A = this chain, B = another copy of it.
């Protein structure tokens, strides 16, 4: 039996056919064009799925279910998307609309939840009972796996690790609140911190790499310079990884999972990032002599969304 995984993003729709072990057999993608009516987006989600099946020389008969990862939250009782801010979706009957094209069971969940689940099925946290996944990108997404299954909470709003309060009345957040983890631990936060340094030190290496334009600072520039030992980049790196260590300690003191997995653009910094975080974690531990979760890099890369969605399709709605 195979499963279709759909990774619905703000810019791209990606669909793939995945086997029971999480191996991607074939995939296809197309632009989301989110400004269109949702019916058009869903039609393309179905077309993409069928194209992936065709690529893999497979038919719909061999598919046991469809999973979808969305940048928002869903209700798997009704099969509706509750919110999907990037796409401008609110209360959209995604399952019913997709069933017009593909008569298969559909499970929908948050993209970070889906990517974290993928890692726990066939990635770095494979087979673990409990893990927490953090995507460090434009924002900070979170995915929780408990008892080997995604945990989305009693009302579907769990695992929003990016929107835990890190500073009471801190930096205003895009979500309408203030002081959220996302404002200190996302790539956006790292770039903001670098911008603050460049304002004070316009001749620094970061500014030079950005061609003198603070708007061109990237997470990559800062991380690469920090690896090379640039003084200002290192200061930013240590400030940023301090916040990450505090956020990860919140995960430890709250849930104490077996592993914390880091994904998203910033995770491409690699071992240098992990070392910078792990070195700081003991400062924030409640029980300093007790073991703490291993901190690891996500291993499935861009396919995590497709794989996790397909594995969600395999799981069915029993976990919710």
State in angstroms the CA–CA spacing of A130 and B153 once bound together: 8
A154: CB under 8 A from chain B? yes
Would you call B256 and A153 a contact (CB within 8 A)?
yes
B contact residues around A158 at 8 Å (CB): 252-256
A284: CB under 8 A from chain B? yes
State in angstroms the CA–CA spacing of A151 and B129 once bound together: 12
Assuming the contacts A165-B166, A165-B249, asked whether A256 and B287 have C-beta atoms less than 8 A apart, the reply is no
B contact residues around A246 at 8 Å (CB): 165, 168
Q: How many copies does the complex hold?
A: 2
A232: CB under 8 A from chain B? no
Would you call B284 and A154 a contact (CB within 8 A)?
no
| Cβ distance A203 to chain B, nearest Cβ, rounded Å | 30
Assuming the contacts A147-B147, A166-B168, asked whether A287 and B250 have C-beta atoms less than 8 A apart, the reply is no
B contact residues around A161 at 8 Å (CB): 253-254
| Interface magnitude class on chain A | 35 or more
A157: CB under 8 A from chain B? yes
B contact residues around A129 at 8 Å (CB): 154
Would you call B286 and A175 a contact (CB within 8 A)?
yes
| Cβ distance A319 to chain B, nearest Cβ, rounded Å | 11
Residue-by-residue, is A161-186 near B (CB-CB < 8 Å gives 1, otherwise 0)?
10111111000000111000000100
B contact residues around A157 at 8 Å (CB): 252-253, 256, 286-287, 290, 292
B contact residues around A36 at 8 Å (CB): none
Q: Give which listed residue, B153, B166, B291, contacts A255 with CB less than 8 A.
A: B153
State in angstroms the CA–CA spacing of A184 and B82 once bound together: 34
State in angstroms the CA–CA spacing of A156 and B292 once bound together: 10
